[in-house]
Amino acid sequence: MDDARLSVWLDTIWQDLHEAAARRRGDLPNATIASVNEDGAPSLRVVVLRAVDRAAAELSFHTDVRSEKVLQLLARPASEVLFWRPADGLQLRFFGQADLFLPGTLKATAAYEAIPEKGRRKYRTAPAPGTPLPAPDALDFAEAAPGAADPGLARFTLITFRVSRIDALRLDGSDQTRAFFHLDGDRLRSATWIAP
Amino acid sequence: MDDARLSVWLDTIWQDLHEAAARRRGDLPNATIASVNEDGAPSLRVVVLRAVDRAAAELSFHTDVRSEKVLQLLARPASEVLFWRPADGLQLRFFGQADLFLPGTLKATAAYEAIPEKGRRKYRTAPAPGTPLPAPDALDFAEAAPGAADPGLARFTLITFRVSRIDALRLDGSDQTRAFFHLDGDRLRSATWIAP
């Protein structure tokens, strides 16, 4: 990489994601994470970026162990995370591996304990995500009985996504700028401008 | 389906997409389409919704025949299109099959001819998308020589996505409403409320 503009752009990308995760504002906290289902077809959903660790090249997300993406990502961890910021036409594609920390793991418990009470509610629902309901509001929220274990803790799952490559694209009217960044943890293996 | 709210919601979804494609404003025209690469990993990118045909349950997108999604979708047409409207927390997942109309087909030519001159420019680029460039602005735009064929026409590809199922989710603070709609062309096979 002999073009300082590439390393400046990469710094900006990490900085923007770090701020998005910390402030939870704007479009970047909402990412799309892809998995592949048992038929080999792709499966998408919007998730909230919870933490960014540039030194480890890791992004973190939260999910319910009962959601279909958990089994899909366990079966095929190679996945992709896409960010899209319409205000300046920024598309960021992150390629990497999803590591799942299931309920009962130290990392999942620590992450759950850092969530405010309001955010824990959605992990206490019954029936499981994807189950037919007789009415849109027929979802039950179990409350943790005093002294009993929190039912949400038994479902909360932490996803850390280890990034190995970034495909960054900026659309500015009819001009487009695009670059590939290959990462190895905190080390930048290569960076290249790419035809959009 | 014995709940009129479900059919009202489905009508709203198609209407919103129809307006998004026609007016090209707001967040809904920007969809994420997924494919699967040769290693079986998912691959994502933002595309612009160009047309909606509810009677055929079809969404249309444009692409360059040289982009990686073309070969990926030809190899595995089962794919997913995701829409996300942050203003009211609407996530729409469309499951279906991607049909590709390659350059030279009547449908691709007709769609290309309906694009304004400005929109054709990106199909005339050299080198091909994904090729390393020495500088971010080192992209060439070929101009059609007078009397010669438009080089963009030889690359323009139309994607029509035939929808068989919709997973609609609305996040309203901590409340979530979700439904599945199974379609068979213009016929609604079933609609059900689903646990989010």
Under 8 Å between Cβ of B37 and B72: yes
Task: Residue B41: list chain A partners with CB under 8 A.
Answer: 36, 76, 78-80, 95
Averaged pLDDT, A150-176: 94
Burial of B43 (0-12, 13-18, 19+ CB in 10 A): buried
Burial of A88 (0-12, 13-18, 19+ CB in 10 A): exposed
Q: Which residue has the tokens 């009202």?
A: B8
State the amino acid at position A27 in one-letter form.
Answer: D
Under 8 Å between Cβ of B6 and B191: yes
Chains A and B: how many Cβ contacts under 8 Å?
152
**pLDDT for A59-115, tens place per residue?**
999 999 999 999 999 999 999 999 999 999 999 999 999 999 999 999 999 999 999
Contact between chains at B41 and A192 (C-beta distance less than 8 A): no
3-state secondary structure B130-192: CCEECCCCCCEECCCCCCCCCCCCCCEEEEEEEEEEEEEEEEECCEEEEEEEEEECCEEEEEE
Q: What is the pTM of this model?
A: 0.96
Contact between chains at A82 and B32 (C-beta distance less than 8 A): yes
Under 8 Å between Cβ of B82 and B94: yes
Task: Residue A79: list chain B partners with CB under 8 A.
Answer: 41-42
Cα-based distances in Å from A195 to A167, B67, B86, B123, B157:
11, 11, 30, 12, 18
Could you tell me the domains of chain B? 4-128+148-193 (2.30.110.10)
**pLDDT for B92-141, tens place per residue?**
999 999 999 999 999 999 999 999 999 999 999 999 999 999 999 999 99
Q: What's the pLDDT at A2?
A: 67
Q: Categorize the per-residue pLDDT at B175 as very low, low, confident or very high, splitting at 50, 70 and 90.
A: confident
Buried/exposed B113-128: b ≥16 CB within 10 Å, e otherwise = eeeeeeebebbbbeee
Task: Residue A138: list chain B partners with CB under 8 A.
Answer: 193
Among A184, A179, A117, which Cα is nearest to A150's? A117
Contact between chains at A44 and B27 (C-beta distance less than 8 A): no
Dihedral sign, CA of A137, B164, A123, A95?
Answer: negative
**pLDDT for B24-46, tens place per residue?**
888 999 999 999 999 999 999 99
- At residue A45, what are phi and psi to the nearest 5 degrees? -165, 155
ipTM value of the model? 0.96
Token pair of B54, please? Answer: 């509810």
Contact between chains at A32 and B82 (C-beta distance less than 8 A): yes
- Contacts for A163 with CB less than 8 Å, ≥ 6 apart: A57, A58, A59, A94, A95, A96, A183
CA distance A21 to A30: 9
| Percent of chain B as helix, strand, coil, to the nearest 5 | 25, 45, 35
Task: Residue B32: list chain A partners with CB under 8 A.
Answer: 32, 44, 82, 84
Query: Mean pLDDT over all residues of chain A?
Result: 95
Contact between chains at B30 and A86 (C-beta distance less than 8 A): yes
CA distance A17 to A181: 16
Q: What are the start-end ranges of the E strands in A88-155?
A: 90-101, 125-126, 132-133, 140-141
Contact between chains at A78 and B128 (C-beta distance less than 8 A): no
Res A1 pLDDT > 60: no
**A18: helix, strand or coil:** helix
Under 8 Å between Cβ of B41 and A80: yes
**pLDDT for A25-50, tens place per residue?**
889 999 999 999 999 999 999 999 99
Q: Which residue of A has its CA nearest to B139?
A: A195
